Amino acid sequence: MDVTTWYLEQTSRSDLLPAKPPSIEVDVVHAEVPSPEFSRFLSTAVGGEWHWTNRLPWTWREWSDWLESGVETWVAYHRGTPAGYVELAPQDDAAVEITCFGLLPWAIGRGVGGRLLEVGTARAWDLADRQPGREPTRRVWLHTCSLDSPVALANYQARGFRIYDTRLNVPGDEYEGETPGPWPGAGPRTRDTA
């Protein structure tokens, strides 16, 4: 299966464009206590349908080490229920990578993604304010692919991200077979969009 991967970036805080307000009330909260269990839940609940399988074999220790490396997780909530998340990974070159971004199926189509991406990107730009000793952010970047949500690329571009590279069939990406769903063996979910 041919898979296209797009790499996008912002190189100035002024690149960030605001989103329209979501159709439901959304609070975006920093998950300040690193929790491998919660992060694994978010990864599988959001990414299960989009071939996010690379972290499924991670041990608790691997999750813990990843989260304690300076990674920040910001979670969108509606009435106390997780709706989606964005994960920010600072890098040595004053860049911040958005390593994960997405919504739980029930939140798709309600404008939550635009708001979450706006807030998450703003937090990438001011990450050094929360992590003393870090150089101020000079670049925020991410990648998405043709197997992600069909509106993902458009959402990134609507928030001011620009494509700087496009690749076909990135080595190491495995996209064969069914998606695992929210947990291994669950299979793909169907969405009731009514």
- Map residue 129 onto helix, strand or coil: helix
Instruction: Work out whether strand 95-103 and strand 139-145 pair parallel, antiparallel, or are unpaired.
Output: parallel
pTM to 2 decimal places: 0.87
CA distance 182 to 194: 21
Model confidence band, residue 184 (pLDDT cutoffs 50, 70, 90)? low
Q: How far apart are alpha carbons 172 and 44 in whole angstroms?
A: 19
Quick: pLDDT tens for 79-124.
Answer: 999 999 999 999 989 999 999 999 998 999 999 999 999 999 999 9
| Structure token pair of residue 24 | 């439901």
Q: Report the candidate in 6, 10, 21, 7 with the shortest Cα–Cα distance to residue 159.
A: 10
Nearest to 16 by CA among 164, 155, 166: 155
Length of the chain: 194
Beta bridge partners of 28: 76
Write the pLDDT tens digit of every residue in 8-59: 999 999 999 999 999 999 999 999 999 999 999 999 888 877 777 788 889 9
Tokens of residue 80, six digits: 């106390």
Cβ atoms within 10 A of the Cβ of 17, count? 15
Query: Span 4-168: which CATH code?
Result: 3.40.630.30
